[in-house]
Amino acid sequence: MTWQGVATSVVALAAFCTALGVLSRLKPMKWLWRQNVKDPLSGWLREVVDERLEHKLQPIRYQLETNNGSSIKDAISRVEATTDKLTAAVERLTKSDVVKKTHIDSIDAAVALHIDKFHTKET
């Protein structure tokens, strides 16, 4: 192949690309492209992706449903119930500690008062 043949091929390719670009801007060509290439490929790709995604999501969905105590959702429910029980127990202990502290403070105050009275009697 000579340089003239290469140049002719390059010009022909450029002319073809230009013609394709011009034709692709026309509404009938856009419609043909959409009907014959874009929509079928998009539909096929969507089916393939949906099928693979569904296959991957199935075990996750299974774990998010209740199934007699062996799913993640059931475990989360058990943890939530235990957390609620522990929170209630901590609140009860806190209240009892406040009561104990108040009672101890009042006993300390009474003892201090008696000690003060005892010291004032001695002097």
Tens of each residue's pLDDT in the chain, 123 residues: 688 888 899 889 898 888 888 877 878 878 887 888 889 999 999 998 889 888 888 888 877 777 776 778 778 888 888 888 888 887 877 777 666 777 677 777 777 776 776 666 555
Work out how many domains the chain is built from and give that number.
1
89 within a domain of the structure (yes/no): yes
Question: 86 in a domain, yes or no?
Answer: yes
Rounded Cα gap, residues 86 and 22, in angstroms: 73
In a domain, 55, yes or no: no
In a domain, 92, yes or no: yes
Residue 96 in any domain: the answer is yes
Take residue 105 and report the two structure tokens written for it: 């403070």
Distance CA(65)–CA(23), nearest Å, equals 54
The domain in which residue 84 lies consists of: 72-123
* pLDDT reported for residue 61: 80
pLDDT of residue 111: 73
Provide CB contacts within 8 A for 104, sequence distance 6+: none
Longest dimension (CA), the chain: 131
**Predicted local distance difference test score (pLDDT) of residue 120:** 66
Whether the predicted model's global pTM rises above the 0.85 cut = no
Q: What are the structure tokens assigned to 7, written together? A: 């140049």
Domain assignment of residue 61, yes or no:
no
pLDDT recorded at residue 87: 84
In a domain, 103, yes or no: yes
The alpha carbons of the chain give a radius of gyration, in whole angstroms, of: 42
Give the pLDDT score at 89: 81
Q: Is residue 87 part of a domain?
A: yes
Q: What is the DSSP string of 69-116?
A: T-SHHHHHHHHHHHHHHHHHHHHHHHHHHHHHHHHHHHHHHHHHHHHH
